[in-house]
Amino acid sequence: MTAVHEGEPRRFLIVSHTHREEAIAATIAAVSALQNAGVVPVFVAEDRDEFAPHLDVSRIGVLGTDAAIADLEVAIVLGGDGTILRAAEVLRGSACPIVGVNLGHVGFLAEMESFDLASTIHRVLRRDYTVEERLTLEVSASCDGEMIADTWALNEASVEKRRRMLEVEIGVDGLPVSSFACDGMVVATPTGSTAYAFSAGGPVVWPGVQAMLMVPIAAHALFNRPLVTGTDSELSVRILPENIGPGVLWCDGRRRTELPAGSIVRVRRSPLSVRLARLSAAPFSDRLVRKFHLPVSGWRGNGREVRA
């Protein structure tokens, strides 16, 4: 559990950005609501500097200086999925839950929409939420026996071409499964199944399913279907030594590693999870329908009401 000591002020992390007016306005409103409730808003240092023209930052704590991660009760993230992924990176390994308020487009990781900001703040202040554990990936890359990356991902790890197609060999539990030319490979969690893996043609996997996905990107092969394995497996993508040109490893689109020909990327389940705070009891199917604007009425007009 997050360390919140009796008699000490409550501290909430706010993760936002100044790239859009909507995000600035939402951040100002969230900071004001928290301060009026006696809660200390905490920013990462670079966010505090960015918001200095818009807020009285003397009343805002700095993470790592005025508050440790263990002091945080919850993180309120104002933005799209990219901002939530940044918050997950900041909070890696902690018990602090994340509440996402969507200011982006699809915002699949976000719990609430921007018009719900006031009610979201109110419910978080009352601790009226549940916490959902999302599995993450442990990702390593090596070349000629030398470790060149040791990182992680919440959504996906992708091995992608730089200029020319990649010749890859994919494997499960140390055994080769297939080899082919492709634009890349995505190894994803159920959380990431609605992100890059979905765009590459992978299946949508419910968040509670304990599984990992391997999805080829534009594979030149008859066997080019996504694979789904259990979380006790180790998945690998090897760029064949005869490949012309390097590849690149991206984790959640945030952490990048150059991959020379001959590199091998290994992915397994990480012992660390990301904790997402949930304010709605609506099932994942309703979220899927709402976010992707899926039709739920047949041509005869039969359908069901989808909860908000």
Name the residues annotated as catalytic: 81
Say if residue 49 carries a ligand binding annotation: no
Query: In terms of Cα–Cα distance, which of 23, 190, 145, 36 is closest to 12?
Result: 36
Angle between the 117-125 and 21-36 helix axes, to the nearest 10 degrees?
30
Six-digit token string for 272: 């660390």
Q: Residue 221 contacts by C-beta under 8 Å, 6 or more apart in sequence?
A: 178, 180, 181, 182
Say if residue 255 carries a ligand binding annotation: no
Say if residue 198 carries a ligand binding annotation: yes
Say if residue 108 carries a ligand binding annotation: no
Question: 144 — phi, psi (to 5°)?
Answer: 55, 40
Say if residue 156 carries a ligand binding annotation: yes
DSSP string covering 196-248, please? HHHHTTPPP--TTS--EEEEEES-BSS----EEE-TT--EEEEE-TT-SS-EE
Say if residue 292 carries a ligand binding annotation: no
Say if residue 141 carries a ligand binding annotation: no
Say if residue 173 carries a ligand binding annotation: no
Say if residue 199 carries a ligand binding annotation: yes
N- to C-terminal Cα distance for the chain?
Answer: 30
Annotated binding site: 81-82, 86, 155-156, 183, 194-199, 218
Annotated binding site for NAD(+): 81-82, 86, 155-156, 183, 194-199, 218
